[in-house]
Amino acid sequence: MYWAKLFTTRTEVIVAICDEDILEKVFEFKETQAKIKISKHFYGEHLVDDNIAIKLMDRATIGNIFGKNIVNLAKENGFISEENIINVDGIPHAQFVKLESYGQN
């Protein structure tokens, strides 16, 4: 299960999804010692399963995902590739942006 929150703007649909077990935990970037909190405010609107998580990522134009399980699910379903994944305190994190392709004139 995952925590997920959808944000919409006039032009974008942004989804933030994290593994259920890391909500409200703090992780540190080793190189810079900067910290990131996986906050309920940003990620924690709805508890969802694999199927809903995939539907949310499919709908999103921008995705922010944090955690081993959601990153693996996103990779398995073609939203990200291995080179898009970073580790923060050993926890996988990735972001994606979908660009609209235009046909040639």
- Domains plus CATH for the chain? 2-97 (3.30.1860.10)
Question: In this structure, what DSSP letter does residue 43 have?
Answer: H
* Tens digits of pLDDT across the chain (105 residues): 999 999 999 999 999 999 999 999 999 988 888 899 999 999 999 999 999 999 999 999 999 999 999 999 999 999 999 999 999 999 999 999 998 765 554
pTM value is 0.89
Query: Beta strand pairing status for 13-19 and 62-66?
Result: parallel
Q: Quote the tokens at residue 48.
A: 């969802």
